[in-house]
Amino acid sequence: MKPVILAAFGLFVAQLAYGQNTEYSVHLNSGGFAYRGKGAAASSIVLVPDIYPGSSYTNNPYGKNLGFSYGLVGQMQRVRPKRSLFGVQAGYEVLRSRVDVTEILAFRLQTPASGHTTLASRTINLHPFFGHRLASQTIDFDLTAGPDLGFILSAREEIDTIAQGEKFSTKNTRADAYLELRARLNVAAYYKHFGVTAGYSRGLTNNYGLALGIDGETYSQFFRLGLAYRL
């Protein structure tokens, strides 16, 4: 199956690079990332093992609260004579969700807490797309859609909270590498070399089972805003 996918992608890129209407651009993205579904949480507790306090973890780190995320990607697209277009975008993103911490629970201690846990995923992103260009005399408007393939390199939990007047913080790796599939919509407006972009990705891969303390399904969502430069 993998050789077939790689061959199809190679043919896609080869066709994309052919012709005089091929455009190249660089995009700097930012936005808010979070999880949805029955398994996502707005708040959770931190569990502190009695034997190994340094291995503390958030009961459910998949937060409904938006976390600041960012990325740098390159894009190549071909615009046809009738203004239909298709292309591919690839790059690196750091996707961060947040969950509020309300309590720290240990074997002999249960105390209220205030703070949050950030779940940061380092991701290689691949986004093949198709769409249409609405062109005016000065501005090009591109409307596109396509699958969003996130190759998650690691998901790291960062706990930052205060309990009984003392700061409590730790970092843990919560998931190893895996592939996440999303559906994505984009809009872009270009004036000469410069552009602004916006997009929304909705996860299709259920993250349930990748961490302890989750009861139900968890799917990602990412609201993107960015700046672009056409080469």
The overall average pLDDT reported for the chain is: 86
Please give the pLDDT value at position 213: 53
Are the beta carbons of 65 and 223 closer than 8 angstroms? no
Domain 21-230 part of CATH 2.40.160.20: yes
Distance between CA atoms of 59 and 105, rounded to whole angstroms?
10
Measured distance CA(13)–CA(22) in Å, rounded: 11
Q: Give the largest Cα separation in the chain, rounded.
A: 71
pLDDT surpassing 70 at residue 215? no
Q: Which residue spans within 110-138 are E strands per DSSP?
A: 110-135
Look up the pTM and report it: 0.82
Over residues 6-27, the pLDDT tens digits come to 444 554 454 544 545 899 999 9
**Residue 206 CB-half CA count within 13 A:** 9
| Helix segments in the chain, DSSP class H | 2-17
pLDDT of residue 6: 47
Six-digit token pair at 172? Answer: 């843990």
pLDDT above 50 for 94: yes
Report the candidate in 141, 134, 138, 146 with the shortest Cα–Cα distance to residue 228: 141
- Written as one string, the DSSP assignment of 156-217 is EEEEEEEETTEEEEEEEEEE--EEEEEEEEEEEEEETTEEEEEEEEEE-S--TTSSTT--S-
Domain layout of the chain by residue ranges = 21-230
* Residues 47-59: tens digit of each pLDDT: 887 766 567 888 8
Mean pLDDT of 174-201: 93
